[in-house]
Amino acid sequence: MKKNLVTGGLGFIGSHLIDRLINSGEYVICLDDISSGDKRYLAKWEKNPKFRFVKGNVLDNHKIKFDNLWHLACPASPKDYLSDPILTARINFEGTLNILNMAKDQKAKVLYTSSSEVYGECEKMPQDENFLGLIRTTSPRSCYAHGKRIAETLCFDFQRKYNLEVKVARIFNTYGPGLKLKDGRVISNFINQALNQIPLSIRGDGNQTRSFCFISDIVDGLILLMDSDFKYPINLGNSYEISILNLAKLIDKKIFSNKQFYFEESTFYEPKRRCPSLALVGDVLKWKPKVNLNEGLNLTIESFKNENS
Ligand SMILES: NC(=O)c1ccc[n+]([C@@H]2O[C@H](COP(=O)([O-])OP(=O)(O)OC[C@H]3O[C@@H](n4cnc5c(N)ncnc54)[C@H](O)[C@@H]3O)[C@@H](O)[C@H]2O)c1
C-alpha cells in the first residue's frame, strides 16, 4: 500500500486533505511542528491504524518512508508568516530543500502547495500561469511571496536534475470549515467580528478584490493534480472575483446586519486584484470549482458558530 506523507497536515488545508486520504483508505503520515496547526485532529485520526503522526519541523531531518509527498508545511496566514519573516523564508527555502532531498532519496512523487502570491502585484486579470509576477524585495510580504517562488524554483530544479516527479499547485485564497477564528485571514476575521457583533474592519478602501475557493474544491484539485502527469505550475482557485467591501457586506448580512464597517489603513503592499485563470486547470485536469461563495460561506459560518458554542 502506498504511503502518503503530508507536511503541515494539522493546518487548514492539510487537515482536509488527510481526512480525504484516510476516508479513501490510504496510509497517511502527518509531519507537523504544531506551530499553527491544531492538534485536536489527532484524536480523530490516531484511532486509525493507517495513520501516524510525527511531531517535527521540516527544517530538520526525518527518517520517514513514503511514496507520495504532499508538502504543505509553511505559515500561511499573514499574521503567522509576518511574525518571524526570516523563519518564514527559511521554511520555504531550507525546509523545501530538505523535503525534496528526502523525496529524491526515495524516488517519491511530490506535490508542493505554492500560492497566488507568486504573481505579486500583477494587474493582469485573470492571472494565468505564464505571468512572471511583480514582487518587491522591500515588501514585508516578500518572505512568503519570494519564499514560495524559491520553493517552486527548487521543485523544478529537482525535476530537471534528478527526474523527480514534482507537481506545483498555485493555490488562491481558500476558505471553509476548519479555518481558525483568529488566524487573521479575511473571511475568518469578518465572520469572527460579525459573530461578536462588532463592525467589520476593512483594510484600505475595500475596493481591492479577491476570489475565494471552498476547501473541498481545493482538495479535489490537489488529488487530481497528484494523480496526473502534469509537470508545470497550475492554478487552483475560484474565478468569482469580489471586492473586500462587498464580501464584508455579504458576511455582515448573513450574521449581524449591522451595516457598519470600520476602515483601517492598509499597512502592507497588498495586491489590488486577485483572480485566477482556470483555463489550464480546466483543460489539463478537467477541474472546476463546484461550491459557490454563497453556499461555501453558509457552511463556514455554521462551523464557526459550532466552534463558538
Ligand atoms: N489557505 C490558503 O488560502 C492558501 C493559499 C495559497 C497557498 N496556501 C498554501 O497551502 C499550504 C497550507 O496552507 P494552510 O492554509 O493550511 O496553512 P495553515 O497555517 O493552516 O497550516 C500550516 C501547517 O504547517 C505547519 N507548519 C508550519 N511551519 C512548519 C514547519 N517548519 N515544520 C512543520 N510544520 C510546519 C503548521 O503547524 C500548520 O499545521 C501552505 O503551504 C500555504 O502557503 C494556502
Domain ranges of the chain: 3-176+214-239
- Mutate which of 30, 40, 41, 74 for ligand 1 pocket (most atoms within 8 A of beta carbon): 74
Active-site residue set: 144
CB of residue 164 inside a 6 A radius of ligand 1: no
The dotted CATH code for 3-176+214-239 is: 3.40.50.720
28 lines ligand 1 (CB under 6 A): no
Q: Residue 19: how many CB atoms within 10 A of its CB?
A: 17
pLDDT 10s per residue in the chain (309 long)? 899 999 999 999 999 999 999 999 999 999 999 999 999 999 999 999 999 999 999 999 999 999 999 999 999 988 899 899 999 999 999 999 999 999 999 999 999 999 999 999 877 899 999 998 889 999 999 999 999 999 999 999 999 999 999 999 999 999 999 998 888 899 999 999 999 999 999 999 999 999 999 999 999 999 999 999 999 999 999 999 999 999 999 999 999 888 889 998 876 677 888 999 999 999 999 999 999 999 999 999 999 998 865
Beta carbon of 73 within 6 Å of any ligand 1 atom: yes
Cα-Cα-Cα-Cα dihedral sign, residues 201, 39, 300, 172 = positive
Distance CA 193, CA 170 (A): 29
Which pLDDT score, from 0 to 100, does residue 307 have? 80
Question: Which residues are within 8 A (CB) of 17 and not within 5 positions of it... i.e. 6 or more apart?
Answer: 6, 9, 70, 72, 219, 222, 223
Pocket test for ligand 1, best of 10, 12, 215 (most atoms within 8 A of CB): 12
The distance between the two most distant Cα atoms of the chain, rounded to a whole number of Å, is 57
176 lines ligand 1 (CB under 6 A): no
Give, using CA atoms, the residue closest to atom 1 of ligand 1: 174
- For 170: left if phi > 0, alpha if psi spans -120 to 50, otherwise beta; the answer is beta
